[in-house]
Structure 1
Amino acid sequence: MESDKKKAIRALLDKRQKEKTVTFEIARQWLVGEGMLDKDGELRPQYGGEDKSGRKD
């Protein structure tokens, strides 16, 4: 990937991160929306959270 593209993508990611972490609640809603946290605000199993489903794969 070209250096200019990488810089532009990084700038967009930085901007989004700043917008989405203004408050704890906004950050939490963002992480739930992205699928990293469940509706209770707990880390999903695929990201290291506890698997509460009782499944054994």
Structure 2
Amino acid sequence: MFGRKAAEKLDDAAAALHRAGGKAGDAVANTVIAPVRRKVDIGCTRCARGKCQAH
């Protein structure tokens, strides 16, 4: 359904929300982005690019 580029954009948006909003940003990301991201069959793209701080 979604590809690597969509996964990158979703991961980057979730990271930006986390940086900008802290817990509130995480809540928005979990509510809005996570359901769509779960449909993507690709691992964390931020890890692959060396930008992930969560994993």
TM range (shorter): 0.3 to 0.5
Q: Which of the pair has the greater relative contact order for Cα pairs under 8 Å at 6+ separation?
A: 2
TM-score where L is the length of structure 2 = 0.38
TM-score where L is the length of structure 1 = 0.37
- Counting helix residues as a fraction of each chain, which structure ranks higher? 2
